[in-house]
Amino acid sequence: MSARGILAVVAAGLVVAGAVIAGALALGGTTQLAAPDEAQPIVVGVVAAPGQELTGPTDLPPLAMVLGDPVPDDIASLSPSDQVERYRDEARADDSASLMRLGAAEQRAGAQDAAADAYRRARAADPDAIDPVIGLAMADAATGDAGLRRAAATLSRITRDNPESQLAWFNRGWLATYRRAGGDVLSSWRRVVRIDPDTPLGRTATALLEGIEDQARAQRGTRTNG
């Protein structure tokens, strides 16, 4: 398939709500995501290089870091704001993991500034961990084009320095959907699957890639029948 063909498939088969929800369910996350604010689009302008940008559906939820651990069922069933309250009650200043959960919940609720604060506290609790660095990049990405570019550079560096980190590769691919960078979406999630297909992130990446391939088959069938 040509580069443009891949981009068209990703645009039609990935950023639609079905694929997004499939990924959330695979991680045990909620599908009750805050709706995009049409007055403040998540992606402002074209970020990817000319000829590499995606076009098509833009009904994406608020940009949020995807964590590697499933969300417990009793929390996944809550609304985004209630999830934030639950994780806020559990967060501890000396526990980076609890602060990462809070930050991701804040992002899912669309509270990017609060998420960045949680990620900074997580980094203070565990300065050597890459998770808070990824989270801060994802929060920065939600600020617009410049933030998206900075975040993409950060995730590129992190995956280079941590080539076996599924967390880094998955979030690199997730960020690429918001940048409309189809090639990076596919290569990042294929790397996640190669590292380990049986983890929650591996299964989620597999489901999303299968959704893209299903769309590719549908498009090929449409062209053939047309």
The DSSP secondary structure of 145-210, one letter per residue, reads: HHHHHHHHHHHHHHHHH-TT-HHHHHHHHHHHHHHT-HHHHHHHHHHHHHH-TTSHHHHHHHHHHH
Coil, strand or helix at 89: helix
pLDDT digits (tens, 9 = 90+) for 109-159: 888 899 999 999 999 999 999 999 999 999 999 888 888 889 999 999 999
* Residue 217 scores a pLDDT above 80: no
Which residue ranges form the domains of the chain, and what is each CATH number? 3-225 (1.25.40.10)
Enter the pTM of the model. Answer: 0.77
Q: What is the pLDDT, as a whole number, of residue 212?
A: 72
pLDDT digits (tens, 9 = 90+) for 156-214: 999 999 999 999 999 999 888 778 777 788 899 999 999 999 988 888 888 778 877 77
